[in-house]
Amino acid sequence: MKLILTFIFTLILFHFSIPLSSQTFSISEAEYQKRGLKLLESILQANQFPSPALDSHLNIAAEKHGNYLSLNQNSDVKIDSQMESIEWVHNEREGLPGFIGKSPQDQALAVGFKPEAGCYVGNTVLPLMKKEHRESPEFLFRGLLDTPFHRSMVLHPAIQRIGMKRVSYENGKYILVFFAEYCLSGKKPAFVHYPVSNEEQIRLRMPPELPNPFPQLTYLTYSTAITVQLFFDQNPETELFWQEAILLDSKGKSVPISTLSLANPPPDTKPFLKSMKLVAFVANEPFQPNTEYTVKTKVKNQFGKIVFQKSWKFRTEAEDSFFKTFAAQNTEQDE
């Protein structure tokens, strides 16, 4: 199970084979959580979304779920599919040591969290691979932003409360566990796209993700994903498809792309695309640094009606920050 878990924790967003080094912290857990809240607020405010609040019960849920994962890293549990790998990280199995609840919502309820009506709780987990990861959870939020199926964990119009905890995993190493409450009721349907208009510092390449949204492309050889997502739509039959998806470079030249929608769902992605009401595409190569791109989109529903149409621009980061941010360091560098 340890080999499987190493794969899951890193490949759920990032996969590296370099071992993590022993870790210590220079800031308190409370300060770390405050920094996380401030970073999340900056993401949400850039999109004119309301700010969430830190919640002590969700902090405890994060700690308890992290302890469960740590206790069961060597469990003899059979995992046969990509979907089972995903479920292992987010959910818990009754009867295993440290079990507090099956789903993230159950885990939060078990420690006294009381979600508001029409709200649900989600979670995610990542390893603390570098020294700066111990000082700020920016690597988590940026990583989530760069991937289509995890993006809405932080780019969401209705995040109400959050919690996070650095949890001991093994041999002095730590994982970061993040919980969030999302409230959907009483909201009007709204489309959200990323990158947002005129946003800067967009990362050049997309990290690996499960389920794999672009299996026809080699990991780390294509751009950060561009997405259009419909929030707060209560119709379970709604489906979204690309009518037009165009990416232009700074000279107005069309950039080759690969699209993702219910018209061409890769293995294990159809339930996510349908429930999240999401379409996406990537450039087939990483973005060029310090470059302005133009996006032109038209999205249609299952009846062929255009429900979203917009053109906008964004600019990429000046240098490729991916490996600098996420690649693990050896002990000498890290200490």
Closest CA to 55 of 186, 167, 178: 178
Q: Specify the pLDDT at position 332.
A: 32
* CB-based contacts of 53, cutoff 8 Å, min separation 6: 37, 160, 161, 162
Determine the average pLDDT of the residues in 71-97. Answer: 81
Residue with tokens 């259009």: 228
- Phi, psi of 320, deg, nearest 5: -70, 110
* CB-based contacts of 237, cutoff 8 Å, min separation 6: 302
| 201-224 residue pLDDT tens | 999 999 888 889 999 999 999 999
Summary mean pLDDT of the chain = 86
Alpha-carbon gap, residue 23 to 196, rounded angstroms: 36
Q: Specify the pLDDT at position 2.
A: 35
Closest CA to 260 of 270, 248, 252: 270
Determine the average pLDDT of the residues in 4-23. Answer: 39
- Of residues 48 and 74, more confidence is placed in 48
Determine the average pLDDT of the residues in 51-63. Answer: 97
Determine the average pLDDT of the residues in 135-152. Answer: 86
- Of residues 130 and 216, more confidence is placed in 216
| 237-294 residue pLDDT tens | 999 999 999 999 999 999 999 999 999 999 999 999 999 999 999 999 999 999 999 9
Q: Which two tokens stand for residue 43?
A: 């993401």
- Are the CB atoms for 279 and 260 separated by under 8 Å? yes
Q: Specify the pLDDT at position 323.
A: 77
Q: What is the SS3 string spanning 269-314? A: CHHHHHHHCEEEEEECCCCCCCCEEEEEEEEEECCCCEEEEEEEEE
Q: Specify the pLDDT at position 15.
A: 38
DSSP 253: P
Residue 231: helix, strand or coil by DSSP? Answer: strand
Least confident of 123-127, 170-174, 309-313: 170-174
Angle (CA) 109 276 282, round 5°: 130
* Alpha-helix residue ranges (DSSP H) falling in the chain: 2-11, 29-46, 56-71, 82-90, 104-110, 138-145, 270-276, 322-326, 331-334
Residue 87 identity: E
Q: Which two tokens stand for residue 263?
A: 């018209």
Q: Specify the pLDDT at position 335.
A: 29
Residue 312: pLDDT over 60: yes
CATH architecture designation of domain 190-322: Sandwich (2.60)
Determine the average pLDDT of the residues in 81-90. Answer: 77
Q: What is the chain's Cα-based Rg?
A: 19
- Phi, psi of 237, deg, nearest 5: -90, -10
Residue 146: pLDDT over 70: yes
- Phi, psi of 119, deg, nearest 5: -115, 155
Q: Can you say whether residue 198 is alpha, beta or left, with left for phi > 0 and alpha for psi between -120 and 50 degrees?
A: left
| 100-112 residue pLDDT tens | 999 999 999 999 9
CATH classification of 2-12+20-186, choosing from 3.40.50.12780, 3.30.2010.10, 3.40.50.720, 3.40.33.10?
A: 3.40.33.10
Domain ranges of the chain: 2-12+20-186, 190-322
